[in-house]
Structure 1
């Protein structure tokens, strides 16, 4: 159960600790967007701020970046498991592969001490982990990268 506390005219939710994010590469949770739709969000390590959060979707083909086992990451970049496009974990920018020239959709979080708190007024925390339905898992990898 995550801690919820008031702030900024809304409820802020602690979604992870910086330690969890660093150990697991990414922390996955589900939130409701401003329209009430469920959206998966990933929190990833960022050297500049401790952690950043992004909608769990590649900008190229809506491929999930974290399929429930942690996002693939290398040298501070999130790797799309389908085509291998790499997104800077701190800026969300991609400069290679099929998604070159695009930026991941950001979700505001605040790092205070070791706590990573969802502070984006467009999202409301629903629960830890994936959306309840897995009907949008997507195709397997066609990436040229190996790990």
Structure 2
């Protein structure tokens, strides 16, 4: 829905804060990908992924395993079974709602709009909704009880 394709973010931001209009008014799913390294032994520990703040839902894929969808606060998922010592690859697919695209389309000529709907609820003056992965994204490692 008008997205720019591949973009690298230096920092996590809400999509409407972007100068790129394809991101600012984007509606759909965006994939965040990264790798992280766990240096310490984690066998027996409980490991949780905390996504922090996000809008609106996120699907998590860790080391090739789909861990399902987070759609309620807190956006956390236990990942103990799939995280490993060493290099880990994570993908977080975040999907927002469509008001931002409907608002953005109000700035385009009708023939160039990405959406066609009978809903005329949104105007150019409406406030854009926060969207995307804002974080902070962090791991929470709870050691095995025997280590206390």
TM-score by length of 2: 0.25
Q: Which protein, 1 or 2, shows the higher relative CO under an 8 Å CA cutoff with sep ≥ 6?
A: 2
**Which is helix-richer, 1 or 2?**
2
TM-score by length of 1: 0.25
Larger Rg computed on CA atoms: 2
